[in-house]
Chain A
Amino acid sequence: MDTSTALAATNIELRYGASQALYGVGITAQVGRVTCLLGRNGVGKTSLLRAISGRHLPSAGQITWQGEDITRLPPQARAQRGIAYVPQGREIFSQLTVLENLQTGFAVLPREQRSVPGEIYDLFPVLRTMLKRRGGDLSGGQQQQLAIARALVTRPKLLILDEPTEGIQPSIIKDIQAVIEHLRRQGDMAILLVEQYFDFAHALADDWAVMDRGEIVLSGDRSSMDAEAVKQAMMV
């Protein structure tokens, strides 16, 4: 295995009660690269991220992170190891203020690092003006921004993003794209991105994979990301 392969999930199977959502999925993420996962509704993208973030234990398969088997670790232990998750649906702590939402990211940080990096406010200026507002009161797009910011507060080594552009205005999508590029350039973070929006994915992806019905049906790297083929794979 490639030494830069920080995250490797192999043969993941995942079931919800009686129904199976993933059938032997494998994916990797490398430090300094963006891995992009595409696929129609309900094919299992979120399910895969749930397995990686520890929300839902897979019924088979293995997940390693920096060489360590984390398949059965609880989510908080993964967070301690630098894995941050921006879930689909935002999952803002609605009764906490914006600032407090950001501060929940301190749990994994040593005392001296417990502050919100200024760049976060540069990226999402609206948050700075709303620090005292309750997270739940924000608009949908504002919440999405908060969710990304909250993940960044933890200074992650693996950033998992589930459809981060959902509900966000075009200008900020561009900014997010710039940030992800910036993070990639810094080269100390692996990024795993689920996205439906092809242009966005295309602009960012170093590696990519398309899922259908719980399986990876197509994958490749930047050079092989062909719009037609991908779109084809994503149709029925």
Chain B
Amino acid sequence: MNPKHIAQDYLLYVDGVSVSFDGFKALNSLSLLVKPGEMRAIIGPNGAGKTTMMDVITGKTRPDSGTVVFNQTVDLTKHDEATIANLGIGRKFQKPTVIEPLTVFENLELALAGKRGVFAALTHRLNADEQARIDEILELIRLTDQRDNQSGALSHGQKQWLEIGMLLISEPKLLLVDEPAAGMTDEETMRTAELLKEINKTRTVVVVEHDMDFIRALNTKVTVLHEGRVLAEGSLDTVQQNQQVIDVYLGR
């Protein structure tokens, strides 16, 4: 399907999306437009609906109403998680999720971009390029020395990094990153910001964070969600001046 009213230049088009759980409106006619190559930071109080929004985009939660279109043509509400992932939407969860019984290396191997079919998996052997790619990522996420350890045995923050690594190695068109800096030191937080900016050069990124220093470092457009809808949008500075944002989110 090809919704005509979607302007040509949006990679992700979320409009009028509502989700409710037992009567509680987690998303309330939410709209969010992301252009290709854009980096978007999303902030908002706990429970504002940020994670729920990602759930909707990645097919985990079906919206009660509203439009979610990817790449102008694909109605994401009609697809399941695997299809959406294969369309090129990658996600890092708020709570770090890795495949615990597998080693760090194997986690990356499975996330590696490539065919996802049964027979492809049956016959797949890592080639040198792929090996190198994994090693490169391992360096980047500083887990080289944990390469052959079971990922279930990682610390909280290490899992966080591994998940970021898995996201990167799968080379999605759109990255949805839920609280990447949680549990990181200030120095690592900055490093993560740099990393995302680097990636943004070739890909579109939507990132959720509560760490204002991190957001500032991203230096990009910010959307503030509140009670399931957009409260404010603009640069971090303008948003930080917004009295409503201060009241519900930043505090005095």
Give A residues with C-beta under 8 Å from B.
16, 19, 38-42, 46, 88-89, 126, 133, 137-142, 144-145, 163, 166-175, 196-198, 231, 234-235
Contact = CB atoms under 8 A, between A and B. Distances in A.
Nearest to A145: B46
Contacts of B161: 41
Contacts of B185: 38-41, 196, 198, 234
Contact of B157 (A38, A41, A126, A169): A41
B5 to A, nearest CB: 32
Nearest to A133: B24
B183 A198 contact: no
A197 B46 contact: no
Interface of B: 21, 24, 44-48, 50-52, 94-95, 149, 153-158, 160-161, 179, 182-188, 210-212, 248-252
Given A41-B188, A88-B156, A141-B46, 20 more contacts: A16-B153, A38-B185, A40-B157, A46-B155, A126-B47, A137-B21, A139-B46, A139-B47, A139-B50, A140-B94, A141-B45, A142-B47, A163-B156, A167-B46, A169-B45, A170-B212, A171-B248, A171-B249, A172-B46, A198-B185
Q: Secondary structure of the A side of the interface?
A: mixed
Given A41-B156, A169-B45, A163 B183 contact: yes
A126 B227 CA distance: 12
A235 B52 CA distance: 35
Contacts of B249: 169-171
Contacts of B188: 40-41
A89 B157 CA distance: 11
B179 A167 contact: yes
A141 B49 CA distance: 11
Contact of A166 (B21, B158, B182, B212): B182
A19 to B, nearest CB: 8
**Pairs of residues from A and B, 5 with the lowest C-beta to C-beta distance, nearest first:** A171-B251, A141-B46, A41-B157, A42-B155, A139-B47
Contacts of A231: 186-187
Nearest to B146: A42
A141 B187 contact: no
Contact of B251 (A126, A145, A170): A170
Contact of B186 (A89, A166, A170, A196): A196
B182 A167 contact: yes
A41 B183 contact: yes
A140 B95 contact: yes
Given A198-B186, A234-B185, A42 B95 contact: no
Nearest to A16: B153
Contacts of A163: 156, 182-183
